[in-house]
Amino acid sequence: MATMQEIAKLAGVSRGTVDRVLNNREGVNEETKKKVLEIADLVDYQPNKAGIALATQKKNIKIGILLYGEGNPFFEELKTGVSDRYNDLSFYGFTYILKQSKSHVRDQIAALDEMLEEDISGLIISPFNDPRIVERINELSDRGIFVVTVNTDLPDSKRIAYVGSDDYKSGQTAGGLMGLLTKGVGEIGIITGGHNVTGHESRIHGFEEIISKKYPKLQIVSIEECQDDDYKAYGALQRMLLEHPTITAIFFSAGGIYGGCKFLYQMTQKQPYTVITYDMSDVNIDFLNKDIITATIGQDPYRQGSIALSVLIDKLILGKNPEEDRILTEINIKIKESL
């Protein structure tokens, strides 16, 4: 591996000049610049990360991580991913501060504003789908603070990358799984979440596509919205099953799982519903163990956290742009036995 020193020698200049060229600092003649770049290219110069790390430490870089849903195992796992990767990357001498707001847009905005006081140089955020959030992300970007979104994307913002699952595909997966578990026959009810989580509709579209194309004998007979509220979900499911007693399968496209499953659990005449939900929350684990939920679809939150930190540090310290601006994580199916 060639070092700056060696390049300097080959180019007949000092290491300082090489440094200026390779870091795009000004104050170097066009010709010498060209020559240095040529040689750097020739020897395939790769900066030594340990050197960078040692030199960067004093800069005291700080990045912010803004999530919601305290205690939610999805975010707990995401945090583990961040923390594990931080372990590898901490030699760059940066720190991070973590905030978890309440699950509401205005709380996230408040937390975001608080975070800006801390003069961070990068941000990882699981954003709500709200124009005010987009606005703030753009503002940050303009100030030179790089933003990576996780879990939910805001494609119209100036974020440098999104790390999370492909919602349409995860909807298709739910659809395919539903087909298999029901042997392709029966009636389905869907409990949807709220509207400030982007992927929401995509999931349902993916689900509907597979059901309609691949399983003609499977029918979606009712869709109820619950705004990610457990009380509403309880009531919604109750009404739904009363109106459509022929339903044998239920798909929760987002929240309201606890409320819905509680109702199913409390039903006097137990019917073996096929139930598909999202994410590995405590609630999901509990109801998987109680045989209320049949399967749940995970989106690898651990890797979301891990990759997000990695991408942000690459950009922030090494100046390396992510290869894709949408980095998709795997979709996993979990059942009781695979927990």
Q: Site residues (CB under 8 A) for a copy of itself?
A: 48-51, 53-54, 57, 85, 88-93, 169-170, 172-173, 175-177, 180-181, 183, 210, 294-295, 297, 310, 330-338
The DSSP result for 22-59, as a single string, is: HTT-S---HHHHHHHHHHHHHTT----HHHHHHHHGGG
Q: Does 10 bind DNA (CB under 7 A)?
A: no
**Closer residue to DNA, CB minimum distance, 44 or 337:** 44
List all residues 6 or more positions away from 258 whose beta carbon is below 8 Å from its beta carbon.
230, 233, 283
Distance CA 253, CA 263 (A): 17
Residue 113 exposed, middle or buried by CB count within 10 Å (0-12, 13-18, 19+)? exposed
CB of 251 to a copy of itself, least distance (A): 14
Nearest C-alpha neighbor of 297 from the set 224, 210, 238: 210
| N-term to C-term CA, the chain | 45
Least gap, CB of 313 to DNA (angstroms) = 14
To DNA, the closest distance from the beta carbon of 161 in angstroms equals 22
The amino acid that residue 250 corresponds to is I
Q: Does 90 bind DNA (CB under 7 A)?
A: no
- Decide if 239 contacts 205 (C-beta within 8 A): no
Site for DNA in 49-68 (CB under 7 A): 50-52, 54-59
The site partner of 13 among DNA, a copy of itself, none (C-beta below 5 to 8 Å per kind) is: DNA
Q: Which is nearer to a copy of itself, 176 or 235 (CB)?
A: 176
How many whole angstroms separate alpha carbon 226 and alpha carbon 232? 5
**Tokens matching residue 73:** 């195992």
Q: Is 314 in the site for DNA (CB under 7 A)?
A: no
Nearer to a copy of itself, 177 or 316 (CB): 177
Does position 42 interact with DNA (CB under 7 A)? The reply is no
Least distance between DNA and beta carbon 94 (Å)? 13
- What does DSSP assign to residue 300? -
How many residues interact with DNA (rule CB under 7 A)? 35
Shortest distance in whole angstroms from residue 115 CB to DNA: 23
Name the site residues for DNA (rule: CB under 7 A): 1, 3-5, 8, 12-17, 19-20, 22-23, 26-33, 45, 47-48, 50-52, 54-59
